[in-house]
Structure 1
Amino acid sequence: MRNWILPEYVQDILPPEAARIERARRMLLDLFQVHGYELVMPPLVEYVESLLSGTGRDLELQLVKVVDQLSGRLMGVRADITPQAARIDAHLLNRRGVTRLCYAGSVLRALPANLTGTREPLQVGAEIYGHAGPESDVEIQQLMLKSLALLGAKTVHLDLGHVGVFRALAREGGLADALESDLFRALQAKDVPLVEDLTSGLAAPIGRALRLLPELYGGREVLAEARRRLPPLPEIGQALDDLETVADALEPMVGELCFDLAELRGYHYHSGAVFAAYVPGCASAVAQGGRYDEVGSAFGRARPATGFSLDLRQLSPYLPEVQPRTGILAPCLPDPALAKVIESLRAQGEVVVVDLPGHEEFRDELGCDRELKFQDGCWQVLPSRRT
């Protein structure tokens, strides 16, 4: 057995790709900072109960579990940083006003999202806590679109949905938990015959409305049709109003804006508007998020919240190349004057590589096009004789 083989869907990131990803990470965190988002760094592992609190168990199948050798309790390797950020806001920061947090770190999932995905996404995201109106939904989605533009996305297709529509219908119809779960899965799969079968025994207004949801996909006309054909429940009216407000603000920033009222991604996790961004050439969403007002209550303090995240590993093929920086080759000598020159050059941002002895034949691998030479009584940077 070759001990250098990695587990399936787990990959190394080599220098050229690592440079693209790291530059993108720094750019995004700088963008978040100037918008008032504070960086947090949650731990890689926590007790399972903490990682799953407030998520409606949606993450349980993705959680990789280990036994803590100190306490004997079951720990999990985080599969999503968002619940951790919610815990920090609700339990540690404990602020009364609006809090903006951001993060960047690896997560581990039991299974990849698709056959070309990874089990170790590099998740970067931003969250707003303490504001319940559509204004914070607009802000977080504008930040997502600015992030994608910063990373080079020229055209973005944005899908908008709202889990409040389905929740209102399920509550009004008095759906049993099992039926609600089955309908949720059928709607997510866009399995129209199964939706029709599951709703066949429901009263006409609710059953007809649930069967209509898969058809409510498209442009602005979807909102008008939903107002006309769905039951006039206050929760549904508010959901459609919120979607319209968000759409008005975001439409100038996207290439195409669509509404999908059967989109229930993260249904047990999210509580309001949900969204997903797509770019040409990529079949799956490159950034996604939504409102999750109920997560914080699991940590002792309910706080309205909305946020988004993206995976820099997924975006890596679309990131602009980073041109490798050429360096200066310095001799390996115990010379204080040489050491001072090397540190001065590095302080100016120059790459200086010390030529360790015994590897002269491999100097071309170091990427240096200049050399430090002692000439005219001082150390000088001169063109390399090998270029």
Structure 2
Amino acid sequence: MTLSLLPEGFHDRLPPFADVAARLEARVMEAAFAHGYERIDPPLVEFFEGLAQRLKASRTIDAVRYVDPVSQRTLAIRPDMTAQVGRIAATRMAHHPRPVRLSYAGPVVKLRASELAPEREQRQMGCELIGLDNVAAAKEIVGVAVEALEAAGVADISIDFTLPDLVDVLAAGPFPVAADQIETLKDRLDAKDAGAVATLAPAYLPLIEAAGPFEAAHDRLCAFATGGTLTSRLDGLWAIAQSLKGKVALTLDPTERHGFEYQSWIGFSIFAGGVRGEIGRGGSYTVMHEDGSEEPAIGFSLYADAIVDGGLAPTERRRLFVPVGADPTLAAQMRGEGWVTVAALDDGDTPQAQLCTHALAGNKIVSVRPA
């Protein structure tokens, strides 16, 4: 057995990529703080039954569980931080005036991973606005997500909108569907399986075509005869998209379902140039209170690993070698000017050995060729 091996789905992040990830998180959190989102730091582990109640849908299958030797109760390592934010907002911050704006960042661990996303440990960060899920709240949340990513140096951002409760709304109104067929219909619409949709509920076929670049897709969805059932949703979606026009690329897929099982009227996925798959996701949902009541909320989560692995550029290295005997005051001055100083600890140390780009020679800075 090789003692240096790590479990499948886990890995070390080495320099300079660990620094890139830390810088990304810091800039995202700074952008969130500038918009009034105050940071919380929930624990990595909670009692499983409480976490499961707030995770909703099928996401409990992602949770790594074990028996606590102290309490003898089942604990779970969080697979997602959003549920914990909801718990804090509904309990310890229930008295706080609404809406309450919270941000977070930390590791999450999943029981299993997919072939396309093999990492079981990820770094999640994001913002949640608790108490509102109206158009103004949605515009703010999506805008903060874009601004935070731009501040972190992420380029070519695009957002794909969806309407998670679309089929439920239509099935309860103008286009009835048998209750035992709704989930199958959602699945087939998400897969763009026109043949199956035609067999299940042919009235829903236009939804498959209502996907693509935002304005054209929105027009097709507006032309879908629903007797005004979707008017408020489509008007709201248009207003949100207009607030982002010219800043990012926008698309619409009204029946996208994967990952939006617990969202309500709006959901969105975030992508970036050169990155395979999404780098974030968000939307509206509800937070459960202790008395069983539910409160509207909206937020987004970003996945640091996907962004860093997608090629977020490291900061240019400006490492200044400080030889033995150099003036420490001068080195401190250089740090104040943005240099990283690396002090020699013996006479045999060299700039090349310390991966330095420059060296201090007396009172001057000289460029150093790499070894």
TM-score range, shorter chain: 0.7 to 0.9
Structure-2 residue corresponding to 1:376:
none
Aligned mates of 1:109, 1:63 — CA distance in 2: 6
The one-letter code matched in structure 2 to 1:310 is: L
- Tell me by how many angstroms 1:279 deviates: 2.4
1:60 aligns with 2:53: no
- Tell me by how many angstroms 1:273 deviates: 0.6
Is the contact between residue 275 and residue 306 of structure 2 (CA under 8 Å) also seen in structure 1? no
1:274 to 256, 260, 267: 267
Structure-2 residue corresponding to 1:319:
312
1:175 aligns with 2:189: no
Aligned partner of residue 284 in structure 1, secondary structure: coil
Aligned partner of residue 101 in structure 1, secondary structure: strand
The correspondence of residues 1-387 of structure 1 with structure 2, limited to 5 A, is 1-94=1-94, 95-115=96-116, 117-172=118-173, 173=176, 175-176=178-179, 178-197=180-199, 199=200, 207-218=201-212, 219-232=214-227, 234=229, 236-255=230-249, 257-292=250-285, 294-297=286-289, 300-316=292-308, 317-329=310-322, 351=340, 353=342, 355-356=344-345, 360=348, 364-367=352-355, 369-370=358-359
Aligned mates of 2:61, 2:320 — CA distance in 1: 47
Give the unaligned 5+ runs of structure 2. Answer: none
Aligned mates of 1:298, 1:166 — CA distance in 2: 30
Aligned mates of 2:84, 2:349 — CA distance in 1: 50
Give the unaligned 5+ runs of structure 1. Answer: 200-206, 333-337, 373-379
The one-letter code matched in structure 2 to 1:272 is: W
Aligned-residue CA RMSD (Å): 3.1
Is the contact between residue 90 and residue 300 of structure 1 (CA under 8 Å) also seen in structure 2? no
TM-score if structure 2 supplies the norm length?
Answer: 0.85
Change (3 A) 1:71 1:225: same
When structure 1 is superposed on structure 2, of 36-45 and 222-231 the one drifting more is: 222-231
Aligned partner of residue 102 in structure 2, secondary structure: strand
Is the contact between residue 91 and residue 300 of structure 1 (CA under 8 Å) also seen in structure 2? no
- Tell me by how many angstroms 1:79 deviates: 1.0
Identity %: 27
- Tell me by how many angstroms 1:276 deviates: 1.2
Change (3 A) 1:119 1:61: same
1:24-77 deviations in whole A, cap 9, x for unaligned? 111111111111110111111111222222333331222111221111111111
Residue-pair matches, total: 363
Aligned mates of 1:118, 1:308 — CA distance in 2: 20
Is the contact between residue 287 and residue 311 of structure 1 (CA under 8 Å) also seen in structure 2? yes
Structure-2 residue corresponding to 1:377:
none
Aligned mates of 1:118, 1:20 — CA distance in 2: 18
Change (3 A) 1:80 1:385: closer
Change (3 A) 1:71 1:133: same
Aligned mates of 1:128, 1:228 — CA distance in 2: 32
Is the contact between residue 46 and residue 77 of structure 2 (CA under 8 Å) also seen in structure 1? yes
TM-score if structure 1 supplies the norm length?
Answer: 0.82
More helix by share: 1
Change (3 A) 1:268 1:295: farther
Aligned mates of 1:312, 1:264 — CA distance in 2: 23
